[in-house]
Amino acid sequence: MSQLTLSPSAAGSAKTSRQPDIRVLKRRLLRVGLLLILGCVLYSMLLLLLGQTSYPSNTPYLVTDVLVISTCVAALTALRNLKHVRLVEIGLCALSLVYLLYWDVVLLLSGLLPRAEYQMTASSTFLLCAALMCLSVPRQHLPLALAGLFGLHEVLTWGALLHFPWGRLHSSQLINDVTLLVIMLCLSLIGAYQHLTLLAQQEAELMQRLAHTDPLTGLANRRQMYAALQSQHPTAVLLMDLDNFKAINDTFGHDAGDLGLVSVAAQLREVFGPSGQVGRWGGEEFIALLGHGSAQQALGLAEEVRGRIEQAGTHTNLPLTMSIGVAFAHPEETPTQTIKRADDLLYLAKREGKNRVYNAG
């Protein structure tokens, strides 16, 4: 059978929220952060090569800068695939934590008073690690993770500093610690605000989906189909009704009847596709709006639906059959009038013996 082009689904129309994937937003943030780190490290390497630093030996720092650059390039390459975002953020968080604590331990064990360059580098690394934690650590564990990071860093740093008499570096470190605490608090508040915003957005999307979706079958409900009718002018309307459904409920029970409706909805999705405009009109009645295609194609789809429902009855042990009225739209009539004609044709199909398709131009 040739394929009939269907109008977009109500569930997938403009009513559906088009919020970007959270991984896309995270990838953007990670890319910007990695590029900033690359810029800072390259600037640091330039200062080292020009002899503008006061390190006792430049070699360890050059090796560290090369490793950081390699890590950034590898992460940027991995971020080309959206599936790797979570892996990259966790990996960067772990590496930055190891990097920070490594130099804290080196400073503590060396017994040397750190220089101003180390203080600046340690603060930047700490903020980077805290920001990555905000991205990768679950919200409920984030305050404890940030507090643990800050506490461990401070114990190691002050453990090294307190071996020496109080001086300008100690005062600078104290001011630096207060600044880090304020920034961490801001990061936590921003994370909490984003979490609450995301929850509110998800709840709004859920309420909108529930308002336009039949809860049993997952198809568009009558309200959504009416909205689709007002925004589109279908070339054909299929009004479909299960035969003797009340008797099925009375004989097999309402749970079995519900399973039958779910089975019918699955068959309709297979026939009309995920982008098909099909919904539950009410009770055991369903409706499909066809966009473009010939009358022969529309009737072919209707017959396919009828045959599938009859076969589905054998799999569910329910005597399921379906009568269908197919009305083709006239230029001078409204969609509501087209539905009325489809309903009249459905009535004729029922009166003539059920389990059949009736149509009229």
Shared-domain flag, residues 284 and 135: no
Mean pLDDT over residues 172-182, rounded?
A: 87
- 212 to 16, 66, 224: CA distances (angstroms): 10, 55, 5
The active-site residue, picked from 89, 284, 285, 304, is: 284
Predicted confidence at residue 285, as pLDDT, reads 94
pTM comes to 0.51
Q: What does the H/E/C string look like for 279-300? A: EEEECCEEEEEECECCHHHHHH
Shared-domain flag, residues 238 and 333: yes
205 is catalytic: no
Predicted confidence at residue 275, as pLDDT, reads 56
pLDDT tens digits, residue range 219-247? 999 888 888 887 777 888 999 999 999 99
Is 265 or 18 the better-scoring residue by pLDDT? 265
State the average pLDDT for the chain: 81
Does residue 9 belong to any structural domain of this protein? no
Question: In which domain, by residue range, is 240 found?
Answer: 222-360
Does residue 16 belong to any structural domain of this protein? no
Residue 347 binned pLDDT confidence (cut-offs 50, 70, 90):
very high
Mean pLDDT over residues 282-287, rounded?
A: 92
Q: Are 264 and 321 in contact (CB under 8 A)?
A: no
Predicted confidence at residue 276, as pLDDT, reads 64
Predicted confidence at residue 52, as pLDDT, reads 63
Predicted confidence at residue 54, as pLDDT, reads 56
Does residue 346 belong to any structural domain of this protein? yes
d(CA 124, CA 126): 5
Shared-domain flag, residues 187 and 240: no
Shared-domain flag, residues 180 and 321: no
Q: Which of 278, 296, 295 is nearest to 287 (CA)?
A: 278
Does residue 17 belong to any structural domain of this protein? no
pLDDT surpassing 80 at residue 15: no
Packing angle, helices 22-50 and 59-78, rounded to 10: 160
Does residue 156 belong to any structural domain of this protein? yes
Does residue 291 belong to any structural domain of this protein? yes
Three-class DSSP category at 320: coil
What per-residue string of b and e applies to 54-63 under the rule 16 or more CB within 10 Å gives b?
Answer: eeeeeeebee
Backbone angles phi, psi at 355, to 5 degrees: 55, 50
Mean pLDDT over residues 317-337, rounded?
A: 88
Predicted confidence at residue 56, as pLDDT, reads 56
Does residue 239 belong to any structural domain of this protein? yes
Does residue 159 belong to any structural domain of this protein? yes
Question: What CATH number is associated with residue 269?
Answer: 3.30.70.270
Shared-domain flag, residues 46 and 165: yes
Predicted confidence at residue 10, as pLDDT, reads 36
pLDDT surpassing 50 at residue 7: no
Predicted confidence at residue 291, as pLDDT, reads 80
pLDDT surpassing 60 at residue 19: no
pLDDT tens digits, residue range 118-159? 777 777 778 878 888 877 787 778 788 888 888 888 888 888
Predicted confidence at residue 104, as pLDDT, reads 82
pLDDT tens digits, residue range 64-97? 778 888 888 888 888 888 888 888 888 888 888 8
d(CA 8, CA 276): 6
Shared-domain flag, residues 129 and 270: no
Shared-domain flag, residues 198 and 267: no
Shared-domain flag, residues 332 and 274: yes
Predicted confidence at residue 5, as pLDDT, reads 39
Shared-domain flag, residues 293 and 238: yes
Q: Are 278 and 222 in contact (CB under 8 A)?
A: no
Shared-domain flag, residues 133 and 66: yes
Select, from the ranges 10-14, 63-67, 180-184, 344-348, the one with the highest average predicted confidence (pLDDT). 344-348
Domain count, the chain: 2
Shared-domain flag, residues 112 and 238: no
Is 198 or 333 the better-scoring residue by pLDDT? 333
**End residue of a domain, out of 182, 209, 236:** 209
